[in-house]
A and B are shown apart, each in its own frame.
Chain A
Amino acid sequence: MVKKRLIPCLDVTGGRVVKGVNFVNLRDIGDPVELATRYSELGADELVFLDITATVDGRDPLLRLIEHMSEELEIPFTVGGGISATEHARAILRAGADKVSVNRAALDVPGLLEELEYEFGAQAVVCAIDAKRRDDGSFEVVTHGGRTPRGIDAVEWAQEAVRRGAGEILLTSIDADGTRAGYNLELTGRVCAAVTVPVIASGGAGTAGHLADAFAVGAEAALVASIVHEAPERITVLKRELKEAGWPMRI
């Protein structure tokens, strides 16, 4: 039986890991390879790197970082942030990333998901979806950190992304993001029920119970950020607690 996954997410820019709020007051919290190796040793099942300024400052530092990461890391990693063309994705995968994550470009570039799937296989293509709750209880796709509503239903877009070629959905609730009050289970459950690819729940992780709740509504994996960045040993603790609660975890 395939194990549930705990996936720390690291924001990188210019080859360093940073932490900040809404892209301001970015603080350097370390060398990505050192942090990644530590997270791996503590039991992280996979890692996601988001290049938060990829569209601004060019890609060479990112590619060098991926090459170095690939040589040192013994667990899989996904790279996302500003990928808008197959050639970007190819460079990132050839540098050693296991998967690419596309968000806005999946919406804006016709044929991108299809082409990525054709070139690299669905298992290397993650579609990241940011969603926000509407007043009527449905969820709308948003971009630009939640500032731009796209007028598209998140559940329908997830289904369409899978039809086009995505092999995994990274689903972030913008409402829950940063709250540590738990994942949005309504959103997560609806998307998990609507697609047949693995879904990674994201936004709102605070406790092991929150991760268990996401698994219970169908998520295959849970993304964590601030709770493990401030105390990396929590990776080990969270996984042990989930295992004790009966979830299949790699210990």
Chain B
Amino acid sequence: MPTDTLNSLGEIAATNTWGAIYPEMILGCLALFLLVLEVVLPKFAHGAIPRIAILGQILLLGYIVVFDPSGCCNGVAFGGMIELSGTGQALRIFFLLASIFVSYLAMVSFENKTLARVEYFAITLVVTGALSLMAMANHFVMLFVALETATVGFYVLVSYFRQNVLSLEAGLKYLIMGALSSAILLFGIVLLYGAASNPALAGSSEDAMNFQNLRAFLEANPTDSLAIIGMLLVISGVAFKIGAFPFQIWIPDVYQGAPVSTTAFLAVSSKAAGFAVLLTLVKTFAPLSSVLVPVLTGIAALTILFGNFAALTQRNLKRLIGLSGVSHAGFLLIGVIAAQAVPQATNWVLFYLFAYLLGSMAVFAVFAHLPKVWDSDLELDDLGDMAKRNGFLGIALAIGIGSLAGIPPLAGFIGKFLIFVAAFKAELYVLLGVGIVGVVISIYYYFGVIKAAFFEVWRFTDEDEEAEAAPALPGATLTGLGKLTIVVAIAGSVVLGFFQGPLGSWLSGQ
């Protein structure tokens, strides 16, 4: 091997700061440890494994928040593979928090089923680590590998209820759609690589998949058609993952069929990771923004309108939340577009994601406690005067849904408000208008959910049916710990609505 190659390899090896990615390494090792525990421990002790997983994650999250809230270092590491930044650190905390909620939801919803229980938690940990690496990716190889690690994990998580046809079918649909989007993304990467590694063009580089090198190339050749097609394919691939129009077709089916914990995981973490990637990519593709911005604008407007209109007539709860999630993706897209002109908008997107996390988790936690064997069958009517039968869950649902709808003074309102401010500052008036229309429509169906939970449901009253008592709530036992988890989610929504102080200044103070 030539000496200069070895020297440059030595330089790359010197940038391998393993200490900077300790949370992901701990998550991976914890997952392996859980698998070993499963085969080592006797059967009766298996109940402890989910608790170990959750405890480990809480300890890790606590350590990061208390001792290392802003990350150890900034800049690129691992030979340009990842970029450490405040945004990456914030998303790391986001994914960990989401993963704790997801593990808890899984624990609750597996209670009354006969299943292999342990693998779910190990896969959740691996996926969380992969998502957090994906958010920090600075190179297409890193991006693709992290994305696929997460996606393959999600295939398993979606089809986890092996006895349930709906879960398997959702898994198959997610598999085909996920693999298709990965292939499209990969072909886009191939074309970008082909354009940017061409030594005949100015600004080309041998390591053309590095985002900085790619950006330098695009600045030198802003009209290269191969690169533009590649960029559009890459954006399509990411749009699949975040469920933006016209790539949202898989969302309702997969959200309905998947176990409720996986639905929450997909809705929150997977979407957030997609937006983290999109934020990075929009920066990389900035020289092509004359093509990129109109495309993204169109996608954002159609996503908001489609998500809201499709959710209007929906009776199935998980499909409803899935479709409303599509419209949230549209709002986030506005933030991403605005972030090109208004740099703080990146932090506002992050704030929106945190608000969305807390609201969604409260709602999904309520779903997990509803009395149905398979949560795919949950309908609006199943909420029937829930507030009377279990006041605590009723309030949790109201606050969660209210935050998602953006009712002041909850966190979701501040999130939407910040996005609209960003759109106004970036002079995206059309998107601003579409966004406001979207909010108005969404309030209608969100209130449908609250109405179903709080007001007397008109039932077809027959003399005989009168005797049939309504099913007792909750389906899964609501333990003290469960109450605490839900309280954390709803308290977060309320507190962030009134007082964004530390989180807000921390997000913008990077």
Query: Do A and B belong to a common assembly?
Result: no
